[in-house]
Structure 1
Amino acid sequence: MKDIVIIENDREILEIIEFLLLDKGFKVTAVLNEEDLWRLEKMPDLIILDNWLNGRSGHDICIELKENEETAAIPIILISAANNLREVARSCNADSFIEKPFDIDVLVNEVEIQLAKVDTRV
Structure 2
Amino acid sequence: MKKAVHVLEDDIDIGELIVFLLTEQGYDVVVFSNIASFRQHGGQLPDLLVIDVMLPDGNGLDICREWKADEATRYIPVLLMSAYEDYKHDAKASKADGFISKPFDIKTFLNEVARQLS
Aligned ranges for residues 28-43 of structure 1 at < 5 Å?
A: 28-38=29-39, 39-43=41-45
Question: 1:85–1:99: 8 Å Cα contact kept in structure 2?
Answer: no
Match of 1:90 in 2: 92
Q: Distance in 2 between matches of 1:80 and 1:110?
A: 15
Deviation of the 1:36 alpha carbon: 2.6
Deviation per CA, 1:40-77: give whole Å up to 9, x if none: 32110100100010121001111011111111111000
Report sequence identity in percent: 39
Match of 2:4 in 1: 3
| Number of residue pairs aligned between Structure 1 and Structure 2 | 116
Q: Distance in 1 between matches of 2:42 and 2:31?
A: 11
Match of 1:99 in 2: 101
Match of 1:47 in 2: 49
The answer to which of 24-33 and 104-113 deviates more is 24-33
Structure with the bigger percentage of strand:
2
Q: Is there any run of 5+ residues in structure 2 with no aligned partner, and where? A: none
Q: Distance in 2 between matches of 1:104 and 1:40?
A: 30
Match of 2:21 in 1: 20
Question: 2:36–2:57: 8 Å Cα contact kept in structure 1?
Answer: no
RMSD across aligned positions (CA): 1.0
Q: Secondary structure at the match of 1:35?
A: helix
Deviation of the 1:23 alpha carbon: 1.1
